[in-house]
Structure 1
């Protein structure tokens, strides 16, 4: 059974394995990986996890985008299957990327994990008093659109460039 866990250095090897499956880059939405994050070393990985979990100075976290965000990893038997981020507030970044971002590693897709994780994060949003969440996906990302719709997403439009914009009331 999968679980949502806060990012932890204990899962560095498992996270690196998932990251390698995606290939190089920072494209796994939900992990909060930035261009300057160095995750290949224990020290760099620990610094990144500290940023994600809010164990760093708030000003630094704001500059790197970690402030105002709850990150969780989707883990099953110490294997990182994906990540999900609940972005708080109404910043320019949230208006562009949405309140929720998630990604499932290729080998773990088609199991309903994204729908399961989004549902759990909607509970978190509700507890935080968030009453309306923007969720976006690429127009051609049919799997993500289905996930969002299964979780109650109402399509706003597809005229905002190459993305679909949905609203979910948790």
Structure 2
């Protein structure tokens, strides 16, 4: 059964395969986290170890980059040594994240889509968000992304409004 785990170097091969899948997918834009991977980490094991350490350190507000980022807990959805998806819980919102971004963002690798992973991954993440002091998580998805709408609503999401082409929802964390 898949579970949320801390990013780990043990899943390097699967992570790199997922990055390749995301980049080749023509149905969806390349996720932010893929463009955020240090380029050397894609070819060098030592650089990948440093990348994983950076991602883990971003849970600490003092380690966050100054360019609009906030502390966030990144987790990987994995099973049997395979990285199936990735999820990030932002510990707080800035005015920009209130408009576009929200508390939780998630991505399922293309070969693992339409198998219920996003719904299960979000359900597993909500108590973690609650433990971070987030009573209600703000989630967003593109207006045309009906799959994400279903995922959010299946997890108790209550539609708030539209900001541009983004649907915004409050999702209880308990």
Question: Which category of TM-score, normalised to the shorter sequence, fits these structures?
Answer: 0.7 to 0.9
What is the rounded CA distance, in whole Å, between the counterparts of 2:71 and 2:8 in structure 1? 18
Q: Structure 2, unaligned stretches of length 5 or more?
A: none
Please identify, of 140-149 and 57-66, the stretch whose mean Cα deviation from structure 2 is larger: 57-66
1:66-81 mapped onto 2 (5 Å cutoff)? 67-81=70-84
TM (normalized to structure 2)? 0.85
Query: Which residue does the alignment assign to 2:168?
Result: 165
Runs of 4+ in 1 over 4 A off after TM superposition: 33-36, 55-60, 64-67
The answer to whether 1:128 aligns with 2:132 is yes
Q: 1:63 to 1:145 in 2, by over 3 A?
A: same
Alignment match of 1:61 (pick from 64, 67, 73): 64
Please identify, of 148-157 and 43-52, the stretch whose mean Cα deviation from structure 2 is larger: 43-52
The answer to whether 1:2 aligns with 2:11 is no
Q: Structure 1, unaligned stretches of length 5 or more?
A: none
Report Cα offsets for 1:8-55 as digits up to 9, x if no partner.
1121111000111111699335xx445472231223322221111017
Count of residues in correspondence between the two structures: 167
Q: 1:84 to 1:98 in 2, by over 3 A?
A: same
Query: Which residue does the alignment assign to 1:138?
Result: 142
What is the rounded CA distance, in whole Å, between the counterparts of 2:119 and 2:68 in structure 1? 25
Q: 1:152 to 1:55 in 2, by over 3 A?
A: closer
RMSD between aligned alpha carbons? 2.5
Q: 1:53 to 1:36 in 2, by over 3 A?
A: closer
